[in-house]
Amino acid sequence: MFPSQARLYGKGIFTTIAFRNGKLLFWEKHWRRIIRNAEASGIDLTEHTETEVRSETADAISASRLADGRVRLTFADEAAGPHWPAAAASFGTSLDILVGESRPVASPLRLGVSPYLVNSRSPLAGVKSCNYLENILAIDEAKSRGFQEAVRVNERGHITGGSMANIFWRKGEKLFTPALSTGCLPGTTREFVLENLDCAEVEAELKDLNCADAVYLTSAGLGVAAVDELDGKQLPNPPHPITELFADL
């Protein structure tokens, strides 16, 4: 096995894009984030133009014969690791495209609180890095306690989001979501919600979430999913436009 930086250190980035009727949702938002994340993590995208990647993605979706689903694009640094150099010539950045069905939404959807903190000062804060083990450990720990997802907070006690999703909550008529300063992921679905609804980006604590009237998880795989239970507390989830945003996409 070639000891690349991707294999040795998880040096890579990814994004997951939803598609409906074969149409990619929010492609421009995803590509902008790919560029930002590549710059932040030192991933060279010279070999992969937007036009070529979009075409390859469309071909992969067509070959899957799925009308609706999600596609993951992973860009991995295949250069030799600096601490384990290889005699073979270094390679560039690889692209892997994986197509699958949308993530099923559990019913009821139970949300716990993760004991694992997010480091808002990490150079990877807000980056969809292939270093995703902390997120996987967080969601696995939540599932071991009977939850499907878990709220994570940063070192200052501010809510950042779920383990694999962004989070919104409603108190009265006001909608809230964590500010990027918390270290939360700038999700493309999150961005779409902010463009279409009046929502405050805040640095909030768990006590603010605990008194919410409704809580929502958002991601490319889930769309918008209303949470039924927060840390054992049933949520009333009155109707709100956020749950209708994707109806016509």
Provide the pLDDT confidence category of residue 97 given band limits of 50, 70 and 90.
very high
pLDDT band at 103 (very low <50, low <70, confident <90, very high): confident
Summarised one tens digit per residue, pLDDT across range 120-174 is 999 999 999 999 999 999 999 999 999 999 999 999 999 999 999 999 999 998 9
The pLDDT of 45-54, averaged and rounded, is: 97
pLDDT at 88: 54
Residue 135, burial from CB neighbour count under 10 angstroms (0-12, 13-18, 19+): buried
What is the pLDDT confidence band of residue 51, given thresholds at 50, 70 and 90?
very high
Between 238 and 6, the higher pLDDT residue = 6
Asked if pLDDT for residue 84 goes beyond 80, the answer is: no
Using an 8 Å Cβ cutoff, are 127 and 180 in contact? no
3-state SS class at 62: helix
pLDDT band at 237 (very low <50, low <70, confident <90, very high): confident
H or E element at residue 73: strand 69-77
Residues of the chain within CATH 3.30.470.10 domain(s) are 5-100
The C-alpha atoms of residue 172 and residue 162 are separated, in whole angstroms, by: 22
Residue ranges, comma separated, of all CATH 3.20.10.10 domains in the chain are 110-244
Determine the Cα–Cα distance for residues 218 and 188; give it in Å rounded to an integer.
Answer: 9
pTM: 0.94
Are 230 and 208 in contact by the 8 Å Cβ rule? The answer is no
Q: Which two tokens stand for residue 174?
A: 């006001």
> What span, in angstroms and rounded, lies between the C-alpha atoms of 201 and 30?
20
The answer to whether domain 5-100 has CATH 3.30.470.10 is: yes
Distances (CA, A) of 187 to 90, 153, 169: 32, 17, 16
CATH fold for domain 110-244: D-amino Acid Aminotransferase; Chain A, domain 2 (3.20.10)
Three-state SS sequence of 137-203: HHHHHHHHCCCCEEEEEECCCCEEEECCCEEEEEECCEEEEECHHHCCCCCHHHHHHHHHCCCEEEC
Residue 89's pLDDT band, with cuts at 50, 70 and 90, is low
